[in-house]
Amino acid sequence: MKLAIIGLSNSGKTTIFNALTGQDIETTIYPTTGGEPNIGVVKVPDSRLDKLSGIYKPKKTTYATVEYIDYLGLTKGDTEQNRKVYDLIKDVDAVVHV
For the chain, what is the domain count? 1
Angle 48-58-67 from CA coordinates, rounded to 5°: 60
Residues found in the chain: 98
The pTM of this model reads 0.82
Predicted confidence at residue 47, as pLDDT, reads: 96
Q: Which of 59, 42, 32 is nearest to 3 (CA)?
A: 42
Q: What is the CATH number of the domain that holds 32?
A: 3.40.50.300
Q: Which of 84, 87, 3, 81 is nearest to 40 (CA)?
A: 3
Residue range 4-15, pLDDT digits in tens: 999 988 899 999
Q: Which of 98, 41, 94 is nearest to 73 (CA)?
A: 98
- CA dist 74 and 84 (Å) reads 10
Range of the domain at 51: 2-97
